[in-house]
Copies of this chain bind each other. A is one copy, B any other.
Amino acid sequence: MEPQARPRRVTIVDVARHAEVSTTAVSKVLRNAYGASPEMRAKVRRAIDELGYRPNAGARGLRGQTYTIGVTLPDIRNPFFPEILDGITTSLADTEYQVLLGPGCNGEKEEARVTEAMIDRGMDGIILVAPISSRAHMERVGSAVPTVVIGRHGSSPAYDTVADDDVEGAALVVGHLAGLGHRRIAHIEHHETDPTRLTEMPNARRADGYRQAMRQHGLEEWTDVVSTSYTQDGGYRGTKELLARPVRPTAVFAGADIVAMGVLEAVAEAGLSVPGDLSVAGYDNTTFAAFGPISLTSVDQGGREMGQNAVRLLLERIADRGRRSAQVTLSPTLVPRRSTARLTE
């Protein structure tokens, strides 16, 4: 499967000789490791460009690296993930690392298959985006290869985490809706049964945050959680259920923008209007939420920053696999739009 009849490949040794530095220095620049001065970087970059050097993943570079970072995505349709991915790819743009995505990780079995495939293929590091795997599986991955997990709370020595403060995010939504006069504020959550995951998953934290905030605003008696899934269909089914209540909610906090899409679909189907009959808020501040004709109030959890933080942690881990594990939590912000309005009744 190797290209035929190519000219001799430029190696890291050629680059070092051309740049008049050591191969270790070249390796450091390629890995974007600490300890390479800006001048050194410039020298090596110039040599790389002049010689047309590409890290040879087939034959492997020094230290057995493949210069490949694997990223798993549970659902390519969820418009939040491109934001994270942008943060990852732009952060890696100045390194020699190539990102390869494992698609279709929408189940524990699929997630295991893709992560094993990535380990088999000698990836230098793995970023798991919103995984649903058990902690035990993630620790197996983390002990095989430097790993950062995005969108999962809890700490483990085997991997680093980057997450949004989901309790705070849910409180922002409830506070916003309560401030608009709503009391019957319902929440559509992702159904979660596994007890370990319950303490770690963003969806569970958002549902917790919702309950806490309802209490804090004296709205405990109106607490109403429908348990479906973080998909468009989950939002659709959840809304059907809510609209069938003897007394309907006046506002719905969907746990994710993709859930809110299903809410809007069900509301339109029922001949009701947003925000006239129902205020709707999502979570993730996707391009869909920002889309003019939709204009969905949402929570921005800074997908790009999450991706950037994950890359920083991963490159540190690759450089020093024994280092202490780190957890980064980012504060969300509320982006109010036309889908939520003052209650008039």
Contact = CB atoms under 8 A, between A and B. Distances in A.
Nearest to A3: B144
A64 B1 CA distance: 7
Contacts of A241: none
B77 A120 contact: no
Contacts of A89: 103-104
A82 interface: yes
A261 interface: yes
A275 to B, nearest CB: 13
Interface string A100-111: 111110000000
Nearest to A99: B103
Interface residues of A, number: 52
Given A264-B292, A268-B292, A291-B265, A57 B121 contact: yes
Given A58-B120, A101-B101, A3 B264 contact: no
A143 B2 CA distance: 10
A202 to B, nearest CB: 21
Contact of A103 (B57, B101, B113, B145): B101
A98 to B, nearest CB: 4
A287 B85 CA distance: 21
Contacts of A3: 119, 143-145
A336 interface: no
Interface in A113-137: 113-114, 116-117, 119-124
A261 B120 CA distance: 41
Nearest to A113: B98
A232 interface: yes
A20 interface: no
A294 interface: yes
Contact of A265 (B85, B119, B145, B292): B292
Given A103-B89, A287-B232, A120 B292 contact: no
B292 A269 contact: yes
B85 A76 contact: yes
Nearest to A145: B1
Q: How many copies does the complex hold?
A: 2
A149 B181 CA distance: 55
Given A54-B120, A124-B1, A293-B264, A79 B77 contact: yes
A56 interface: yes
A58 B268 CA distance: 52
Contacts of A119: 3
Contacts of A292: 264-265, 268-269
A203 interface: no
A117 B68 CA distance: 9
A308 interface: no
Contacts of A4: 143-144
Contacts of A145: 1, 3
A66 interface: yes
Given A1-B145, A293-B293, 4 more contacts: A4-B144, A99-B104, A265-B291, A269-B292
Interface of A: 1-4, 54-58, 64-66, 68, 70, 76-77, 79, 81-82, 85, 89, 98-104, 113-114, 116-117, 119-124, 143-145, 232, 261, 264-265, 268-269, 287, 291-294
